[in-house]
Amino acid sequence: MGSIMFLSVLLLSKSLAAPPGQFSVLTQDQPAPFDGVLFDPVATAEIMVTREFAARECNLQIERAIEETEIELTLELDNLSIRYQSLQSEYDLMIETKDRQIQSLQDIIDNAPPQRRWLWTTLGVVSGVGTTYLAYRAFDES
């Protein structure tokens, strides 16, 4: 069994690297028309089935890897979409809160009693002049 597997691997590797080989059906005691290895029908069938099985198994593995990658990427995309929506909702909530704060402060300013600007202006000018005069008297060296 081990030698059959070795020969099948040898044939598969040679068939991948070499041009297609020759095929001939022989009966017992009949000379071969070319040099080569002779297999009985069971061994030939096993080689053909093994090759076909390997190709199908390879295709299944490829399909499975593609499906796994597709599932992983879909999950990652879904997670990123959820994160984006969450951040967008947080941003919208923050903007709405800031707008309400601005409106609240604007309402406070609009409803405040009229300011006495002349009083604050007069107090500012008087205190500035008084501070300047006191600083002049304090630092005068004459």
Render pLDDT for 58-93 as a digit per residue (tens, 0 to 9).
999 999 999 999 999 999 999 999 999 999 999 999
**Please, what is the Cα angle at 102 between 90 and 89, to 5 degrees?**
10
**Please, what is the Cα angle at 11 between 5 and 13, to 5 degrees?**
100
Distance CA 116, CA 123 (A): 11
**Please, what is the Cα angle at 75 between 69 and 77, to 5 degrees?**
100
Domain boundary assignment for the chain: 7-14+37-98
pTM score of the predicted model: 0.44
3 state SS of 86: helix
